[in-house]
Amino acid sequence: MHTIRELDDTYVAHTYARFPVSITEGHGSIAIAEDGKEYIDLGSGIGVNLFGYCDKVWMEAVTSQLARVQHTSNLYYTGPCAQLAEALCTRTGMKKVFFCNSGAEANECAIKAARRYGQLHHGNDCSTMITLKDSFHGRTLTTLAATGQDHFHELFQPLTAGFVHAEANDLESVKRLVNDQVCGILMECVQGEGGVNVLSEAFVKGVRDLCDEKDLILIIDEVQTGNGRTGALYSFMNYGILPDAATTAKGIGGGLPIGAAMLGEKLQDIFTPGDNGSTFGGNPAVAAGALSNLNRLDDALFADVRRKSELIFSALNGAEGVKSISGMGLMIGIEPEFTTAREIARACLDEGVLVLTAGHNKVRLLPALNIPDELLIRALDVLKRAFAAGRE
Ligand SMILES: *Cc1c(COP(=O)(O)O)cnc(C)c1O
């Protein structure tokens, strides 16, 4: 008899520093471990389980589609894929959607689209993308190159060429990098993995204006910020701008793999058959679940996300051991004063609360959007104790 941990440690590639918990069940915002211990989950599988574990509405959408047809490949039409694309375009102002399986792939697609646009409109050398320091855009060789954190670049050289990095919230540093070879700018409005850093409105609007002026493609990476997370359907909506492309993944699938690259007016006709593809992309069961999720993301829910956000900010702002707190909606980063984020996460785990960490020593919260107040308040008490106790 081997425990789950022993098997995993023996046979699964060691790319993760897992916490010592095997989760065997979950409902709503409660995860249940192999040993029966219950956890209040403030991470939701890194912002994926939008309505918590085994949400009934989402499960019904997925399983009823599974019982009809689970997969066809993209050689044929299926309803959920077409309907999800329609819903995404109608609600964002985008014109076409490419479906894939992950955030990294969605970003790859948007980068391909921006390069094609640059080459078609400004010549073959127009292929460089500007991204921001402390960004995170994925783990493929191209999205690692896009990711503006040096420690991600060291191990796997050579990465895809054609990425340069500007300072977040410093428009001049972006302008300095613009030249005839630059085709676009890719950024997160709230940098997730990089430390829950919120871009300023002046910066985001300034980048939009710059892209208009120079005919650059602006891609907003909504993989983590999207799908209600920041109190709007997509975070760019909080800034009153419309990008030329937006990518999403994580939460939209509610727990099944999906990525989407949404293409705006300038990019809508950039691809022709054969230019991009995915075996699973737009899979009907996943798409049916995603459509059901999207249909529940309405103004009432966004208002509730913002209300819960204020609840968290007011509980932790100025609390003992909290050095700083940042974020938007239910995407929040908290910097400990006395200890490391990893230590706080461990202490919370012992007390039955799951939290995430992020760059620059942040504890990161991405709870399910429908987490009940009662669980949130209990978890915040545990968090406050963990931050205060770090002093020893
Ligand atoms: C998680 C994440 C990605 C990568 O998504 P995967 O599905 O893991 O490929 C890309 N961009 C951002 C902002 C993310 O948070």
Query: For ligand 1, atom 5, which residue shows the shortest CA distance?
Result: 103
Give the CA count within 13 Å in the CB-facing half-sphere of 163: 26
For the segment 253-259, the average pLDDT, to the nearest whole number, is: 98
For the segment 347-352, the average pLDDT, to the nearest whole number, is: 98
144 contacts 199 by C-beta, under 8 angstroms: no
**C-beta of 65 in contact with ligand 1 (< 6 A):** no
Alpha-carbon span 389 to 372, nearest angstrom: 26
Q: Which residue has the tokens 């909080």?
A: 238
**pTM score:** 0.98
- What number does the ligand 1 atom closest to the CA of 106 have? 9
Alpha-carbon span 261 to 249, nearest angstrom: 9
Q: What is the mean pLDDT of the chain?
A: 97
Count helices and strands (H / E) in the chain. Answer: 12, 17
**C-beta of 136 in contact with ligand 1 (< 6 A):** yes
Question: Could you tell which of 198, 223, 247 is best to mutate to test the pocket of ligand 1, judged by most ligand atoms within 8 Å of the CB?
Answer: 223
- Antiparallel, parallel or unpaired: β 245-248 and 217-221: parallel
Each residue's pLDDT tens digit, 53-97: 999 999 999 999 999 999 999 999 999 999 999 999 999 999 999
Estimate the share of the chain in helix, then strand, then coil, as percent rounded to the nearest 5.
Answer: 40, 20, 40
Q: How far is the CA of 136 from the centre of ligand 1 (A)?
A: 7
Q: Residue 2 — very low, low, confident or very high, per pLDDT cuts 50/70/90?
A: confident
The answer, yes or no, to whether residue 193 has pLDDT greater than 70, is yes
Q: Which amino acid is at 312?
A: I
24 contacts 34 by C-beta, under 8 angstroms: yes
DSSP label at 53? B
- Beta-sheet strands, E only, within 156-244: 163-166, 182-187, 190-191, 197-198, 217-221
What is the pLDDT, as a whole number, of residue 165? 98
For the segment 160-167, the average pLDDT, to the nearest whole number, is: 98
Residue 157 class from Cβ within 10 Å (0-12 exposed, 13-18 middle, 19+ buried)? exposed
CA distances from 188 to 17, 123, 176 (A): 25, 27, 20
